[in-house]
Chain A
């Protein structure tokens, strides 16, 4: 079966750094995504990893280890607007095109 795990909630302070972890067990692997979702809004794309290593994009970075079935999203210089849910998603099959989402991590930013 397919399983994606991430913490339900996290809290961090404005200006700080936070790391949101995601582990996955899927029948195959064709890439991992991170999406951001503000309350009452649609998910929006943040990052995509298919090879091991760190991808940096401004204040946000995403890391992948395929051998460990592990990824993290690193958010630096936290701002109040970063308060949102962060969804880890995996494309599990090489010949299939569906994306499976984790339940998301709700990140609360304190002033």
Chain B
């Protein structure tokens, strides 16, 4: 397996524009996580899915953020409209049973909103 695949690797956009981040988890992993990482706040859990169903979205900062998982091999994180404070590295991770097994992270998307 190629591991967790995220696209794009880098995204620069203007404030107010819509941004869509994509993730392909490892085949067979039932759990998918979206994290945001900044120097100030570290690695924050935004939302996670189990078998394509959103389980906990309490970490999503506000209504501008939304995430979907239409099937077991694809998820998106959308920010609309984007703001400069959304600039961060966004990681997607997948896992079998996250409570006691490792999570595999994608290479991340570095988002810059100007």
Residues of A within 8 A of B (CB): 30-31, 33, 41-45, 48, 50, 87, 91, 94, 96-104
Please state if B42 and A103 are interface contacts (CB–CB under 8 Å): yes
Q: A101-B42, A103-B42 are in contact. Are A43 and B97 (CB under 8 A)?
A: no
Stretch at the interface among B15-23, B73-81, B103-111: B103-111
Please state if A87 and B43 are interface contacts (CB–CB under 8 Å): yes
- Alpha-carbon separation in the docked complex, A102 to B42 (Å): 7
- Alpha-carbon separation in the docked complex, A99 to B33 (Å): 9
- Classify the interface of chain A: helix, strand, loop or mixed: loop
Residues of B within 8 A of A48 (CB): 100-102
Q: Which of B44, B97, B102, B107 contacts A97 (CB 8 A)?
A: B97
Q: A42-B91, A99-B45, A101-B42 are in contact. Are A91 and B99 (CB under 8 A)?
A: yes
Residues of B within 8 A of A101 (CB): 35, 42-45
Pairs across A and B, CB under 8 Å, 21 listed: A30-B99, A31-B99, A42-B105, A42-B106, A42-B107, A42-B108, A43-B43, A48-B102, A50-B100, A87-B43, A91-B100, A97-B31, A97-B50, A97-B97, A97-B99, A98-B33, A98-B56, A99-B45, A101-B42, A101-B44, A102-B42
* Nearest A residue (CB) for B107: A42
Please state if B98 and A91 are interface contacts (CB–CB under 8 Å): yes
- Alpha-carbon separation in the docked complex, A43 to B45 (Å): 14
- Alpha-carbon separation in the docked complex, A33 to B55 (Å): 21
Please state if A96 and B45 are interface contacts (CB–CB under 8 Å): no
Residues of B within 8 A of A (CB): 31, 33, 35, 41-45, 48, 50, 55-56, 91, 97-108
- Alpha-carbon separation in the docked complex, A30 to B99 (Å): 6
- Alpha-carbon separation in the docked complex, A100 to B102 (Å): 13
Residues of B within 8 A of A45 (CB): 102-104
* The 7 nearest A-B residue pairs measured at CB: A103-B42, A45-B102, A42-B105, A101-B43, A91-B99, A30-B99, A97-B98
Q: A31-B99, A91-B100 are in contact. Are A97 and B48 (CB under 8 A)?
A: yes
